[in-house]
Chain A
Amino acid sequence: MNRIPVVLCAAMLLIPACTGNPLIRKVPPGPEAEVAACMDCHSNVDELFSKEHPAVSGDDIRTCFSCHQPMDPKKAEPNTFSATLHRAHLNKESGVDCLSCHSWIPGRHFGISGTGVDLGPLPENNMPLLKKTFLSWAGSRYLDARHAKQNVTCSGCHGDSLPAPGDTIKNERCLMCHGSYDALAEKTVPEIFPDRNPHQSHLGVIDCTVCHVAHGESRAYCLECHQKFVMKTPG
């Protein structure tokens, strides 16, 4: 494939334009520029798939999209395709650059190269956080990694806009997968003191995120006043 060297050259030329994180390059391509090509790194694409996976004819990400439709952001559900791809490319060892597959014009566009997919504007300042958060998702001891194991990616919680610093998740979104607040309460009735139920407390319905933190340490808010309670928030 004669265009591989071209891509590499272009990438090398662009590396000096990095700001901060060496994994993040500023590249000019818009949605219709270079296609994210698996062959750039993987000499044998077929090796990547499980036996069950249907035969793949192409060698870039557009091929994937012919079967794997982008998720409906209104639905909070696992996205195995996205989760698998991200998990494979996101670890400290391989550390593949986001922009190997994604196109980015800071503040205007963040998408999937060559596919026309636009995930929304991603300001320059938000990129390091996005990267950090995605690494956390891929392997932290927090709730984000628990979601990763269930193949829930960003949009599973954050919906149709790219997460921005300080974003928080509304209860309705959590409950789309986790059932009703009442159902949760049933699951968390303590054995010894049944009315010390964090999902049925004297505070009524509170924000899930008061206790459950995806990209950081979760806490048991009850304990801030009720010091003698024995309570643990998972994740």
Chain B
Amino acid sequence: MDKEKIDSNIKSTRRDFLKVTGGTIAAAGIAANGFLLRGSEAWAEEKPETWNEEVDVLIVGSGFAGLAAAAEAAGRGSKTLILDKMPTYGGNSIINGGEYASWDDEFSLRKKLNLGDDTSKLHMTDTIKGGDFYNIPALVQVMVDGAPSALNWMIDEGGLKIRELVNRAGGHSAYRTRTCTDGIGRGYTEALRKIAESKGTEIRLGTKVTRIWRQGLEGPVLGLAVENRKGRQNIRIRKALVLASGGFGYDVKMRQDFNPIVTPDINCTNHKGATGEMIRYAQAIGADTLHLAFVQLYPFAEPETGILDTPAVYPFRGPGFGMVYVDRNGKRYVSELERRDVCARAATATGSKPTFSVFSEKMIPLMGTKEEVKKGIAKGRFMTAMTIADLAKEMDVPGSHLKDTISRHNQYLADKKDPEFNKPVTAMMVPMTEGPFYAVAQWPAVHHTMGGLRINESAQVIDIWGKPIPHLYAAGEITGGVHGSNRLGSNATPDCIVFGRIAGTNAAKEKA
């Protein structure tokens, strides 16, 4: 056999192999080994047989980021289609705690309520400190700068309503967490959906992506292969693809692959669709990822099932107003203003499930609503009693311990000093001297995956060689780098919405 013939045989074998393996993941494995550099023509050959549909901007995921992207893209005249594999819209966003970190808002609520100062810079510093300096500062800057205007945009254009209170949550050094009136993420998703749909966005549910089409490993993204009840089809993009499909908290294998200590027995606050396959499909076309090992546990989920119901948001809202966390022995185990990772670890270290948040009547209007607490009591989630001793009975913790813990904590507030856990005591913290008193049981559950696709400040997805992938954007929990090793509570919502808006705006600007 002459040389030419041998070469051609090898070539065709490689081609056949690529054809056979076909699937994106297999091909990506080859790409990672460098083999595809020579075989890239085989990649270029891989195109769908037919395009069944064409849109300007195609978005995967109908949560905060996807809806914000759609609102901006459709608002700029782009024919915009959102796909979601789930039968209902909103993903994790619609069930989130309804919290939004922003150093300001159009009502100047913080100032109005006399809750101290805050700045964009302070929000950024807290976020980076909370993420152990793993955060990419340029991305954090974008989030904190855009947070107030994105909040105001939802209020002005989407009819969002926020409560007249501002919370200080773990890891934040200022009172900056806004809560929507609904007290659940739906407040924001509905506002965003309203804007997006009024501009002509179509939301197509029950449609899952099966691969991303890209022209070779250097060319532009072309579209998606998708599957739903009606069968398989290929959707071509004229302008851009935006990935906004969330994290992988519900994917037990994926989260443990990257972080072995996140074992399958740990509960999860996420919806079932948070399985991260879009990250793998993006990797298969060359997208870079970072920080995939950083998996956040929400320290205050419902202990038995791990869901984050309304009562489970109270432990997060309360620390700025003097809420106390105790273990089953009735003793404090952490500074209540600590970050989520610290609180979760401290809870686990008590060695006895569950732990509790304890608060009093006076704190309720400062951090939440009486109506929510009433409902929580009816469901058996909140416990209540007129005295600490009686509350201890409800909680099944030693009454003498709990009484001692609360009276000592009251003294710390009076002294403006917490010698036990060094909590930064503020004047807004209320001593628990008057009943009724309340408690809610809590335990850590997987909540957020900080890692994901690498993006730049324009929300473009960066490939493994450091270049933006043409016509591909990403925003929200699918991306990595904004939150570093540990996301501060209530930073996810501004992250998703600010970067979603940027992705949608830039997607609409792409040349068809």
Partner of A227, one of B228, B230, B305: B305
- Known A-B contacts A168-B229, A203-B90; A225 and B307 likewise in contact (beta carbons under 8 Å): yes
* B contact residues, total (Cβ < 8 Å): 22
Residue of B nearest to A194 (CB): B378
Nearest CB of A to B18, in Å: 31
Nearest CB of B to A210, in Å: 4
Please tell me if the beta carbons of A228 and B186 are within 8 angstroms of each other in the complex. Answer: no
Please tell me if the beta carbons of B88 and A206 are within 8 angstroms of each other in the complex. Answer: yes
| Interface mask (B87-120 → A, CB under 8 Å = 1, otherwise 0) | 1101000110000000000000000000000000
The answer to the question of B15 belonging to the interface, with a C-beta cut-off of 8 Å to chain A, is no
Partner of B231, one of A166, A193, A203: A166
Cα of A195 to Cα of B309 in the assembled complex, Å: 13
- Known A-B contacts A166-B229, A166-B230; A202 and B94 likewise in contact (beta carbons under 8 Å): yes
The answer to the question of A207 belonging to the interface, with a C-beta cut-off of 8 Å to chain B, is yes
The residues in A between 176 and 235 inclusive whose CB is less than 8 angstroms from any CB of B are 193, 195, 202-204, 206-207, 209-210, 221, 224-228
The answer to the question of A22 belonging to the interface, with a C-beta cut-off of 8 Å to chain B, is no
Cα of A202 to Cα of B307 in the assembled complex, Å: 14
Please tell me if the beta carbons of A207 and B378 are within 8 angstroms of each other in the complex. Answer: no
The residues in B between 202 and 257 inclusive whose CB is less than 8 angstroms from any CB of A are 205-206, 228-231
Cα of A100 to Cα of B231 in the assembled complex, Å: 32
Cα of A204 to Cα of B194 in the assembled complex, Å: 13
Residues of B within 8 Å of A226, CB to CB, are: 305, 307
Residues of A within 8 Å of B88, CB to CB, are: 203, 206-207, 210, 221
Residues of B within 8 Å of A206, CB to CB, are: 87-88
* A contact residues, total (Cβ < 8 Å): 19
Residue of A nearest to B228 (CB): A166
The answer to the question of A165 belonging to the interface, with a C-beta cut-off of 8 Å to chain B, is yes
Please tell me if the beta carbons of B186 and A193 are within 8 angstroms of each other in the complex. Answer: no
Residue of B nearest to A193 (CB): B379
Please tell me if the beta carbons of B186 and A207 are within 8 angstroms of each other in the complex. Answer: no
Please tell me if the beta carbons of B186 and A203 are within 8 angstroms of each other in the complex. Answer: yes
Nearest CB of B to A100, in Å: 31
Nearest CB of B to A192, in Å: 9
The answer to the question of B47 belonging to the interface, with a C-beta cut-off of 8 Å to chain A, is no
| Interface mask (B441-478 → A, CB under 8 Å = 1, otherwise 0) | 00000000000000000000000000000000000000
Nearest CB of A to B252, in Å: 16
Cα of A204 to Cα of B95 in the assembled complex, Å: 11
Please tell me if the beta carbons of A195 and B375 are within 8 angstroms of each other in the complex. Answer: yes
The answer to the question of B417 belonging to the interface, with a C-beta cut-off of 8 Å to chain A, is no
Cα of A232 to Cα of B202 in the assembled complex, Å: 32
Residues of B within 8 Å of A227, CB to CB, are: 305
Residue of B nearest to A209 (CB): B87
The answer to the question of B11 belonging to the interface, with a C-beta cut-off of 8 Å to chain A, is no
Residues of A within 8 Å of B82, CB to CB, are: none
Cα of A117 to Cα of B184 in the assembled complex, Å: 52
Residue of B nearest to A203 (CB): B88
Cα of A211 to Cα of B380 in the assembled complex, Å: 27
Please tell me if the beta carbons of A228 and B205 are within 8 angstroms of each other in the complex. Answer: no
Please tell me if the beta carbons of A193 and B205 are within 8 angstroms of each other in the complex. Answer: no
Residue of B nearest to A164 (CB): B230
Please tell me if the beta carbons of A202 and B304 are within 8 angstroms of each other in the complex. Answer: no
The answer to the question of B190 belonging to the interface, with a C-beta cut-off of 8 Å to chain A, is yes
Cα of A166 to Cα of B307 in the assembled complex, Å: 32
Partner of B305, one of A204, A207, A221, A228: A228
Cα of A195 to Cα of B184 in the assembled complex, Å: 15
Cα of A168 to Cα of B205 in the assembled complex, Å: 12
The 6 closest A-B pairs by CB, nearest first: A166-B229, A166-B230, A210-B87, A206-B88, A227-B305, A203-B88
List 17 contacting pairs A-B, 8 Å CB cutoff, sorted by A: A165-B229, A165-B230, A166-B230, A166-B231, A167-B229, A167-B230, A168-B206, A193-B378, A202-B94, A202-B184, A203-B88, A203-B186, A206-B87, A207-B87, A225-B271, A225-B272, A225-B305
